[in-house]
Every structure is written in structure tokens, then in C-alpha cells.
Amino acid sequence: MAFYIEFNCHHLLYLSTQKTMIADLNWKQLTITELQMAEKARRSGNEGRARVCARRAAGHVVGEYLRRQGFSLENESALQRIRYLESKISKDDIQKELLGHFLVHTTTEHELPIEADLLADVHSLSEQLLGEPLD
């Protein structure tokens, strides 16, 4: 049995069945890599791809937060992790608003219907949830 992890916006990284290999991948490095790809996509004029990469980056941050809280959602997608945490946070919490940015559906023109910079939001989530800057 083999499985794949999305490594970047265009390629898949093949990993063996050893689950420990996934755990060994550093959440911060994965997050930074996704943000770098998001920035590259944005510079190329591909804002949709930038949002996809930013959501995956946010998924790594949320996954690490949940891991530190004793939850295991490592097999869940970035969106599933974000939805889970967003559903558990109180209504007035700023983190709920930030998480909500990643869950907003785009318009038929493929634009976000809100004013949000998902790349900046990933940095905010890391600082707020984990107390760690990504820089």
C-alpha cells in the first residue's frame, strides 16, 4: 500500500506507507512551502491557485494546533481540519473569523466575495493559534 501527499500546486510527493514519515514532516516547513507557492502563483496572476495553496498552509497550522490539543485529524484534508476547528470556536472569537475566510466559496467569477488576504491570514493563524510566527 502506498499513498501520496500533495507536495506543491503541481506535483505529488510519493511517500511509503510508514505513517511516521508524515509525522516527521515539519508543519512549519510545509506551511512555509505552501505560502511560497501561493506567493509565486499570486505574482503570476493566478489568485485562485494562491488561495488553494494558502488553504493548505492554513490546514497545516490548524493540524498542528489540533495535534497540540490532543486531537488527531492527520488524515483529514485541510478544509476538514479548518471546518472542524471553526465549528469549535466561540462565535465572537477573531480566530473564527479568520478560519471562516478559508471556508468562503468564490463567486462565479472565481473571486472571494469578502475582503481577505488568505496568505496574510495564515500568518495570523499561526501567531494566534500556536504563538509562533512563520518568518
> Does residue 88 lie within any of the structural domains?
yes
Q: Look up the domain containing 41 and give its range.
A: 27-130
The dihedral built from the CA positions of residue 20, 24, 30 and 33, taken in this order, carries a sign that is negative
Q: What's the whole-model pTM score? A: 0.80
What's the number of domains the chain is made of? 1
> Does residue 14 lie within any of the structural domains?
no
- Tell me, what amino acid is at 18? Q
Q: Which three cell numbers stand for residue 91?
A: 462565535
> Does residue 6 lie within any of the structural domains?
no
> Does residue 10 lie within any of the structural domains?
no
> Does residue 53 lie within any of the structural domains?
yes
Quote the CA–CA distance of 132 and 135 in Å, as a whole number. 9
> Does residue 65 lie within any of the structural domains?
yes
Q: Which long-range contacts (CB under 8 A, 24 or more apart) does 126-130 make?
A: 126/31, 126/61, 128/94, 128/95, 128/98, 129/61, 129/62, 129/65, 129/95, 130/61, 130/64, 130/65, 130/68
> Does residue 16 lie within any of the structural domains?
no
- Are 37 and 8 in contact by the 8 Å Cβ rule? The answer is yes
- Which residues of the chain, if any, have pLDDT below 70? 1-25
> Does residue 80 lie within any of the structural domains?
yes
